Amino acid sequence: GQALGRRDDRDGVALAGMVRFQPVRRLCSAAIQAPAERPELSVRQRLKQISVDPELLRRIQKLGLGRAGTRLLPHASQLRQLGDRVLGRVSLIKSGKSVAELPKSITAELALAGRSNVGKSSLLNAMVGKRTGNTNTRGLAPVQNKPGVTRTLNLYSNSPKGARLVDMPGYGFAFAEPSMVAGWQEAMRRYVTERGSGLRVLLLLDARQSLRQADREFLLLIDREAKVPFHVAMTKCDLVDVTELAKRYVMVRESLDELNLQHMRRPLHMVSSRTGAGVIELRNKLAADMPPDWIKAISGESAPSVNGGSGEQRVAKDEGAKKLSKKAKKYNKLLASLAVEEEIESEREKHLAPWEKQALQEEVVSLSRKQKIEQKKQKAAEDFQKRLRFETWLQRQKKRLPVLTNSQRAKASAKRRK
Ligand SMILES: Nc1nc2c(ncn2[C@@H]2O[C@H](COP(=O)(O)OP(=O)(O)OP(=O)(O)O)[C@@H](O)[C@H]2O)c(=O)[nH]1
Ligand SMILES: [Mg+2]
């Protein structure tokens, strides 16, 4: 069939032959003019001029971002574990074509915005610890590799009255009827301008691309018209080389600075929903900017790291790795239950009678409960390390063994019997 669409920026050049162009409809009001992209230098030329800041590079590497970066399994399993434990069951509570169809905003809402296909739904899934990827049924918000998948405003939460994450349709080019695209863009525009003081926006930019005209217009819409506090994050950071990512980061930051945005929170974030890198850090930063109950609902406590501290653990993506991640999950579960015990313990201490407190302090001989928990934790970490070493060793041994057919195997055992 013939694909119809509208586009209001320079994206989708390859699709130009298939697309029927429509006149640009601005996201922000006519009074606000978005400054055009710098015409004098190409993006490549600008990138060349940027020198890489070693501090920034270190930060990128530490977060496990960048193409050369690792598949950091702990990130993914930590997120999943956090998702289950901290958030409870996050689910879709309401989906609407316009603001009028949505329940009133009771508490805080964080809405994900960005151009179509930038990875909004994927990041929402990653933030609540659901797996993402194409044709993935386990994720929460539907994800596909084509612009224009999400077409309604979708509220997700772990309780009907709790804080929410909102998956929005994108702006810019999309594979859909122009009238439909115009409809959902208007709904999104009204949502951000009318939702009220509980709203925060998380604007996503593709790490492989520079700021587009549509992005500028949306930024100006939320900054000057809606006056909504917002964060900006670069997504798909697993698809760009580390040094290029650092340069693009600087470039995007410069472009944002040029717009003189009043309501933007700093710093500019970087994430990859695919590997999970940077997602926990992003969530913690967001939590610091949200009302208290959002913090409770979305961020929880800082994530336990799988190998007991350093947090980085490179595991090859093969069958062995899958098994290991199961182990990692188990270990995480244990840590989580210990954390709960600890929480209860500290809560209990608060409510002790003075004489009980004194008795506790004088208790020298037997170990306190806290110490016992510490010991258990250490033991669990050690066991896990041992197990991990053993598993990798086993994988290596298995690879060395020759693959035998049944008859060869029979012959070999007959020989042995002789
Ligand atoms: N490599 C990589 N791919 C990603 C990442 N995030 C999203 N994607 C892919 O990008 C494509 C689009 O993702 P979506 O989450 O559907 O994007 P969206 O912004 O919700 O798109 P619309 O709903 O159409 O506006 C999918 O193929 C995802 O798998 C990422 O961090 N890394
Ligand atoms: Mg989507």
What pLDDT does residue 174 have? 81
How far is CA 353 from each of CA 324, 344, 358, 359, 367, rounded to the nearest angstrom?
46, 16, 9, 10, 20
Which mutation among 117, 275, 282 tests ligand 1's pocket best, with the greatest number of atoms within 8 A of CB?
A: 117
* C-alpha dihedral, 143 to 144 to 147 to 151, nearest 10°: -50
Contacts of 279 (CB under 8 A, 6+ apart): 75, 79, 123, 126, 127, 271, 272, 273
* 392, pLDDT greater than 70: yes
* Pocket (CB within 6 angstroms of ligand 1): 114, 116-122, 133-134, 143-145, 147-150, 169-170, 235-236, 238-239, 272-274
Ligand 1 atom nearest to 143, measured from its CA = 16
Encoded tokens for 34: 């978005």
Mean pLDDT on 119-147: 74
**How far is ligand 2, taken at its centre, from the CA of residue 273, in Å?**
13
* 373, pLDDT greater than 50: yes
Which residue has better confidence, 221 or 348?
A: 221
- Is residue 159 classed as helix, strand or coil in its secondary structure? coil
Please, what is the average pLDDT of the chain? 74
* 409, pLDDT greater than 90: no
Q: List the single range of 78-82, 347-351, 397-401 with lowest mean pLDDT.
A: 78-82
What pLDDT does residue 81 have? 55
What pLDDT does residue 317 have? 40
In the structure, how many helices (H) and strands (E) does the chain have?
Answer: 13, 7
Beta strands in 31-135 (DSSP E): 91-96, 109-114
Task: Domain ranges for the chain, please list them.
Answer: 25-299, 319-400
Which residue has better confidence, 129 or 109?
A: 109
Which residue has better confidence, 134 or 197?
A: 197
CA 326/CA 332 separation, integer angstroms: 10
Mean pLDDT on 321-348: 62
What pLDDT does residue 339 have? 62
Mean pLDDT on 79-99: 70
CA 36/CA 34 separation, integer angstroms: 6
Q: What are 58-68's pLDDT values in tens digits?
A: 888 888 888 86
Q: What angle do CA 227, 232, 237 make, to 5 degrees?
A: 165
Q: What are 237-286's pLDDT values in tens digits?
A: 989 989 999 999 999 999 999 999 999 999 999 999 888 888 888 887 88
What pLDDT does residue 190 have? 94
CA 146/CA 118 separation, integer angstroms: 10
Say which DSSP state 225 is in.
Answer: I
Mean pLDDT on 83-90: 56
Q: List the single range of 185-194, 228-237, 273-282 with lowest mean pLDDT.
A: 273-282
What pLDDT does residue 41 have? 79
Mean pLDDT on 5-31: 45
pLDDT band for 338, please (50, 70, 90 cuts). low
**How far is ligand 2, taken at its centre, from the CA of residue 132, in Å?**
12
Q: What number does CATH give the domain 25-299?
A: 3.40.50.300
Whether 232 contacts 260, CB under 8 Å:
no
- Is residue 203 classed as helix, strand or coil in its secondary structure? strand
pLDDT band for 397, please (50, 70, 90 cuts). confident
First-to-final CA distance of the chain: 71
What pLDDT does residue 92 have? 87
Instruction: Give percent of the chain above pLDDT 70.
Output: 63
* 418, pLDDT greater than 50: yes
Strands 230-235, 269-270: pairing is: parallel
* 219, pLDDT greater than 60: yes
Mean pLDDT on 328-333: 65
* 37, pLDDT greater than 60: no
Which mutation among 112, 132, 143 tests ligand 1's pocket best, with the greatest number of atoms within 8 A of CB?
A: 143
**How far is ligand 1, taken at its centre, from the CA of residue 149, in Å?**
10
Question: Which residue, by CA, sits nearest to atom 27 of ligand 1?
Answer: 145
Which residue has better confidence, 133 or 313?
A: 133
